[in-house]
Structure formats: C-alpha cells, structure tokens
Amino acid sequence: MNINHILVTGRLYLELEPLLRGRTDKQFRFIQESEVNTADYEWADAFVGFRPAAQFRPEGLKWIHALGAGVDAFLQHPAWNPNVLLTRTIGAFGQQISEYCLSCILADAQHRDTFARQQQMKSWGPVPPRSLRGQRAVILGTGTIGQEVARSLEFFGMEVTGVSRGGSRKAHFVRNVTMEASGEYLETADWVINTLPLTKETESVVNEAFFARMKQCGFINVGRGASVCPNALLNAVDQGQVRVAVLDVFEEEPLPVHSPLWSHAGIRITPHISAVTGPEEAARDFLKVLEGVEQGELSAEHKVNLQLGY
C-alpha cells in the first residue's frame, strides 16, 4: 500500500511531530482533534489518533492507525468505512496493565485501606496480610493483555482461569473456558479482572446475571467501560457479591461528577491510567506498522479483524 499523506491528531500530536519528521518521504499534518476539517481528510491517505477527530470522514482514507489498544470508537462511528485498513498500537500495554492489577490485588491483600484509616485515627491495629498464593483469579479476555496479567499472577502462585469467546488454550492460565462455562469459576474466584475489548458481543456482558455468580469477590475493570453495567455493579457491591471494585475505564470519560460511582465506599476509581501510550512508544510502534503496511507484511497483532472488533 502506498501512503504519502498522513494526518496525525490526538493528545500526542505535538510530541509526535519531532519524532516522525524524520520520515522525509512522507507529508504529515499534526493537528488538534477539534481543529481537523473536511479538507484535511480529503488530503490524507492515513489517519493516526486515539479516536475519530472532528468531522470524521474516513471514506477517502486507505489506512487508520489507532494510537491505543482499543478501536471501538472507530468501528462504532456512524461514518465508519469497512474498506479502510485499521491497525492498533501494541506497545507495553500488557506489562503496564499487569502491574496495575497486581498493585490493586497486593494493596487489598496487605490491607492498605485499613491501615490508612487507622493512621488517620492514630490507631495501632495489626491485621495479618493474605498471601496471593492459592488465590483464584478469573480473567475475561485472553489476548496479549490478558495473557500478560495472567503471567504476573501465575508468578505469585495464583490460580488463573481465562475466559474468552472460544475458550482456546493460552499460556499462563490453569484453564481456558468460554463465557458460558465460566460460572463455576466465578463462584470461587477471589478476583475477576475484565480485559475485554468492546464489541457487540461484549457490550454490557458484565451484568446482573454475571455478578450474581460471584461471592465476596474483588473486581477490576481495565477493559472497556461499556462492557460493565454500572447499576449492576453498584447492586453487586451493595449485596456483597463484589467485595471491592477497582475501575479504571468508564463508558463516559471523564466520569461525570454526578455518577454514584465516585462516592461509593466499595469502589476505587482511577482516571484511565492503567496503560498510557507515551510519545516515543507511539512513534516507534507507528513506524513499525507503517513499514509493514507499505511492504505488505503487516503483523496479525497490529491488524484489527473487523468482524471480531479487535
């Protein structure tokens, strides 16, 4: 594929400019998302960004490269053109998200919230930490991110079950099952971690029926906000099905100030920081994909399957 005109936008557009200008054989436009106009799309062969920009018109594009791992914002846009090649950034998301999940589980096992409250009250009340060895985790999604999370938890002796559409065998999981067969493992899980991409199949898949199978379980969402029903989550925490929920992604971001998730005692919120694309990593991955696009040797992990949505 011959690519000459590349439109770069998103929150990293200024940082990416000096990192990509070395490709003097290409013409670039680095523009803020809100400032992109129809003429820019008509000029471009390729679009690079985290999500569709203003006046999104992909019909004339040959290629779209997502600077993040998620591509649902492109695929669900009303103007989406299925004839466009769609790729995504891989980077170190798996390692970052595994560190995030591990930090949450360790903080809980070592009663950090309890000790923080005791410190405020100047109260000395030892509580023995719980070992991770022998605890059971269920990971929804067994792609590169889910596998990396499983690898970290496996290292600490946790028993990890992977849940995916096909239930195919993947490394670092004790077992792999389909969503339909996950019930018995959800019932005994100490932690459930959602790493699923957002597709038609995964939208609202973590719902009341899903939470009803959990018992005093920790829940972490690092996948997509729209895959979890917020009201079902709140009810699950109130009813004790979920002991604590750690949420890093939300259907609407930033999370609105009126959301009841902010003030619930059983919920911990972080502002979508479990995996952050840095400019150097984004540039390096983009240039690697650009080379694959031009040579017709694009790796399967970068190319999005439009039917599957990831």
Instruction: Determine the 3-state secondary structure of 310 from DSSP.
Output: coil
Type of residue numbered 201: E
Query: Is there a contact between 206 and 179 (Cβ–Cβ < 8 Å)?
Result: no
The DSSP element (H or E) to which 38 belongs, if any, is helix 38-43
Give yes or no: 224 in active site.
yes
Catalytic residue among 42, 59, 253, 301: 253
**DSSP per position, 200-229:** TTTTT-BSHHHHTT-SSEEEEE-S-GGGB-
**Cα–Cα distance measured from residue 240 to residue 212, given in angstroms and rounded to the nearest whole number:** 10
Instruction: Determine the 3-state secondary structure of 70 from DSSP.
Output: coil
Catalytic residue among 112, 130, 272, 284: 272
Query: Is there a contact between 150 and 172 (Cβ–Cβ < 8 Å)?
Result: yes
Question: Which DSSP letter does residue 193 get?
Answer: E
Residue 197 preceded by cis peptide, ω within 30: no
Catalytic residue among 57, 136, 224, 302: 224
Q: Is the dihedral of CA 201, 207, 209, 214 positive or negative?
A: positive
Query: Is there a contact between 161 and 188 (Cβ–Cβ < 8 Å)?
Result: no
Give yes or no: 297 in active site.
no
Please state, in angstroms and as integers, the Cα–Cα distance from residue 107 to each residue in 55, 131, 194, following that order. 44, 11, 18
**Cα–Cα distance measured from residue 296 to residue 159, given in angstroms and rounded to the nearest whole number:** 41
- Are β-strands 46-49 and 85-88 bridged in parallel, bridged antiparallel, or unpaired? unpaired
Give yes or no: 33 in active site.
no
Question: Which residues touch 236 (CB under 8 Å, ≥6 apart)?
Answer: 208, 211, 212, 214, 219, 242, 245
The DSSP element (H or E) to which 268 belongs, if any, is strand 267-269
Active site residues: 224, 253, 272
